[in-house]
């Protein structure tokens, strides 16, 4: 142990004694590791906001749209109401909600706005009572539709957050909105739905209310939202069969985050090219280390000679130089990783990216730097160990 | 009278260089350095004295013959064993001082004590004591470039004796010094004499050789005279 601490001390003294030379040796690994870390980091960070969004949304929501027997979407295709229960019983499904968008309703916050809202109609959606659970969206104020509203076909509605802002709805305010002249009491405002932005400007009512007031014929939904945290893809493939059971009613499924996920994938070929270039920079850095250290061995021949005369063995001399290379590799790798991270941070800050840095990647490239430095230090170390003290001391 | 023991001996040592054309630097030389010796090896350039110093200091191995340090035959030892034996038994002083430029005087002396399992504190204590003996305690934190030639050579002597070697080998120790410093250094070497230790100076300067108690003269790779001065 004391031998190792002696070696570390001697190596550190050797490096700190010649600061400019040490700095020049360090430049290789610093530039190599710095280039790789910054290039990969910037590439990853440019997709960082998508990754962050994906993290927030999750990738386990499935949307199933009704499809008629001909494979198209035909005239108002619907999903049988009992299919909701069947889908809910699938092992990986945690929540299912059916919705049906009612057409030809003019929704008004107040009567004078009729012309505007006739031109830009607000969607009115009949929904199951667990929509916030399935969409994993909280309420901004009030409550969502409940069993009481459903059992009594009550004329109450929940509105999306954007619509609440548009109507100037105040939290907790007692207020009605008019659906084709029929007043509904607003009981709550639902927060933004990232995966279904159209819901942010929608009005939600219960299926029984919709059936009573708007002649939607039955309570069959036209769309299912299904949350399946595990085996999402498999569930997505099972749903059409579970819905149709071989009958004419079908469904076509999609996972809304799939596209986002594909977009968020970094360009692997660009990353590989970056790694190759950075690797080359490290190899060049390694050649630099070997070169400068070889010159250093010649310059320090007298020091090597006197150390040998004082009883230091060939292997001790060799290991002393190898330790210097090791310290260069560790320092260069650490400083390179730090410099690369700084460049990524600066770029992310200037361009508004979400900074993405992989710690295992930093450690990995730091280790490569150490390995390159040690391999590069092998030749000068052997050269130092092989020096004959008699030749270097120039006696008498 | 105390019996003096052999500390370092060459027995019929030959050293040749080159493979095609052989150059005999030493021819069947025998020399016995005894405890208490204060001696010099003198000879003109090319007489083989530097080769002799390399062999005596275990920095080189003979082509034939035996080099024995106390009772240990060094010829068959590997590098690790020979280096260890050298570090434990021999102290070197060189004409050009050969101090490590980036280390302080204390650091240079301490270098001789590295890799011996000593704590840093113990190493520093011994190195400082050695410098103190040479009157350099106040210059311990100076680098070689900040010291005069005489001071640098005293640091080198402190480094040579810090391990308490059996033999101190000095190669032209006053060659790079002015006459005043040379005189001081010779006084120091004379002061290193002890019944357990031998001091051997290699020189071409007869005045230096005359200051020692035993003079070994060399010519053409052979010892031509081994003369012990009569003490008054």
Asked if the model's pLDDT at residue A271 lies above 50, the reply is yes
Residue B145 to chain A, least CA–CA distance (Å) = 14
Contacts of B50 in chain A (CB under 8 A): 395-396
The pLDDT score that the predictor gives to residue B170 is 93
Measured CA to CA, the distance from residue A315 to residue A253 in angstroms comes to: 69
Contacts of B120 in chain A (CB under 8 A): 9
Stretch A242-246: mean pLDDT: 79
Measured CA to CA, the distance from residue B4 to residue B9 in angstroms comes to: 13
The tokens describing A12, both together, are: 């550190």
Write the residue in B50, B54, B115 that is nearest to A316 by C-beta: B115
End-to-end Cα distance, chain A: 38
A389 contacts B92? CB cut-off 8 A = no
- Between helix B149-161 and helix B120-133 the angle, nearest 10°, is 130
Supply the ipTM of this predicted assembly.
0.91
Task: Please give the interface size between A and B, counted as residue pairs whose CB atoms are below 8 Å apart.
Answer: 85
The pLDDT score that the predictor gives to residue A260 is 66
B172 contacts A396? CB cut-off 8 A = yes
The pLDDT score that the predictor gives to residue A266 is 60
End-to-end Cα distance, chain B: 17
A306 contacts B88? CB cut-off 8 A = no
Contacts of A390 in chain B (CB under 8 A): 54, 59-60
Beta-strand pair A223-227/A203-206: unpaired
Beta-strand pair A95-102/A223-227: antiparallel
Residue of B nearest to A395 (CA): B50
Nearest to B173 by CA among B145, B203, B135, B147: B203
Residue A325 to chain B, least CA–CA distance (Å) = 18
The pLDDT score that the predictor gives to residue B229 is 80
Asked if the model's pLDDT at residue A70 lies above 60, the reply is no
Mean pLDDT of chain B: 90
The pLDDT score that the predictor gives to residue B138 is 92
Contact A177, A157 (CB under 8 A): yes
Asked if the model's pLDDT at residue A47 lies above 80, the reply is no
The pLDDT score that the predictor gives to residue A396 is 47
Tens digits of residue pLDDT in B17-31: 888 888 888 999 999
Q: Does B205 touch chain A (CB under 8 A)?
A: no
B83 contacts A313? CB cut-off 8 A = yes
Residue spans per domain, chain B? 36-59+78-228
Asked if the model's pLDDT at residue B166 lies above 90, the reply is yes
Q: Tell me the pTM.
A: 0.66
Segment among A264-268, A382-386, B113-117 with least mean pLDDT: A264-268
B79 contacts A313? CB cut-off 8 A = yes
The pLDDT score that the predictor gives to residue A250 is 79
Asked if the model's pLDDT at residue A233 lies above 60, the reply is yes
Tens digits of residue pLDDT in B173-209: 888 788 888 888 888 888 888 889 999 999 988 888 9
Q: Can you list the alpha helix ranges (DSSP code H) found in A46-167? A: 48-57, 81-88, 114-119, 131-135, 147-151, 161-167
According to CATH, the topology of domain B36-59+78-228 is Rossmann fold (3.40.50)
The pLDDT score that the predictor gives to residue B202 is 92
Tens digits of residue pLDDT in B43-92: 988 888 889 999 999 999 999 999 999 889 998 899 999 999 999 999 99
B100 contacts A306? CB cut-off 8 A = yes
Residue A317 burial (C-beta neighbours within 10 Å; 0-12, 13-18, 19+): buried
Contacts of B99 in chain A (CB under 8 A): 306
Disruptive mutation site among A296, A305, A309, A382 for chain B (greatest number of B CBs within 10 Å): A309
């Amino acid at each position: 142990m004391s031998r190792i601490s002696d070696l570390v001390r001697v190596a550190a003294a050797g490096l700190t004694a010649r600061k400019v030379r040490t700095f020049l040796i360090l430049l290789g690994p610093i530039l190599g590791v710095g280039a790789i870390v910054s290039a990969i980091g910037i590439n990853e960070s440019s997709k960082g906001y998508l990754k962050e969004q994906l993290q927030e949304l999750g990738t386990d929501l499935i949307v199933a749209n009704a499809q008629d027997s001909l494979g198209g979407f035909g005239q108002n295709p619907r999903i049988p109401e009992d299919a909701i229960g069947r889908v809910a019983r699938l092992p990986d499904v945690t929540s299912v909600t059916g919705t049906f968008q009612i057409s030809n309703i003019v929704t008004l916050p107040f009567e004078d706005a009729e012309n505007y809202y006739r031109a830009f109609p607000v969607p009115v959606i009949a929904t199951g009572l667990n929509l916030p659970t399935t969409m994993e969206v909280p309420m901004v104020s009030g409550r969502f539709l409940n069993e009481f509203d459903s059992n009594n076909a009550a004329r109450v509605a929940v509105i999306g957050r954007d619509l609440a802002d548009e109507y100037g709805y105040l939290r907790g305010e007692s207020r009605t909105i008019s659906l084709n002249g029929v007043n509904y009491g607003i009981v709550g405002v639902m927060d933004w739905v990232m995966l279904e932005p159209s819901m942010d400007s929608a009005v939600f009512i219960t299926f029984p209310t919709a059936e009573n007031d708007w002649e939607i014929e039955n309570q069959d939904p036209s769309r299912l939202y299904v949350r399946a945290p595990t085996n999402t893809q498999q569930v997505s493939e099972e749903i059409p069969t579970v819905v149709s059971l071989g009958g004419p009613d079908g469904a076509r499924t999609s996972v809304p985050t799939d596209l986002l996920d594909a977009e968020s994938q970094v360009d692997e070929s660009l990353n590989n090219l970056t790694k190759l270039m950075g690797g080359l920079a490290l190899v060049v850095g390694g050649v630099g280390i070997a070169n400068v250290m070889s010159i250093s061995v010649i310059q320090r021949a007298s020091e090597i000679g006197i150390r040998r005369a004082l009883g230091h063995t060939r292997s001790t001399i060799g290991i002393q130089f190898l330790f210097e290379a090791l310290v260069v590799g560790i320092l260069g790798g650490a400083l390179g990783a730090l410099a690369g991270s700084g460049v990524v941070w600066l770029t992310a800050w200037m361009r508004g990216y979400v900074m993405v840095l992989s710690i295992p990647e930093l450690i990995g490239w730091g280790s490569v730097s150490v390995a390159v430095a040690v391999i590069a230090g092998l030749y000068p170390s052997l050269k130092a160990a092989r020096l004959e003290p008699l030749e270097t001391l120039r006696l008498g | 009278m105390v019996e003096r023991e052999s500390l370092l001996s060459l027995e019929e040592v030959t050293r040749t260089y080159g493979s095609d054309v052989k150059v005999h630097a030493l021819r069947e030389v025998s020399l016995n350095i005894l405890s208490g010796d204060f001696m010099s090896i003198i000879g003109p350039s090319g007489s083989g004295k530097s080769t002799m110093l390399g062999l005596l200091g275990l920095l080189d191995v003979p082509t034939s013959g035996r080099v024995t340090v106390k009772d240990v035959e060094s010829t068959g030892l590997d590098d690790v064993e020979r280096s260890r034996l050298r570090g434990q038994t021999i102290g070197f002083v060189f004409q050009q001082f050969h101090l490590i430029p980036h280390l302080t005087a204390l650091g240079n002396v301490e270098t001789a004590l590295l890799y011996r399992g000593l704590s840093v504190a113990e190493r520093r204590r011994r190195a400082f004591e050695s410098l103190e003996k040479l009157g350099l305690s106040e210059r311990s934190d100076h680098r070689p470039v900040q010291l005069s030639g005489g001071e640098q050579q005293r640091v080198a002597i402190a480094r040579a004796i810090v391990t308490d070697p059996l033999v101190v080998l000095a190669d032209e120790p006053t060659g790079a010094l002015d006459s005043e410093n040379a005189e001081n250094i010779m006084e120091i070497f004379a002061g290193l004499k002890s019944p357990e230790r031998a001091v051997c100076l290699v020189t071409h300067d007869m005045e230096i050789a005359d200051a020692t108690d035993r003079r070994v003269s060399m010519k053409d790779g052979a010892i031509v005279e081994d003369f012990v001065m009569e003490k008054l």
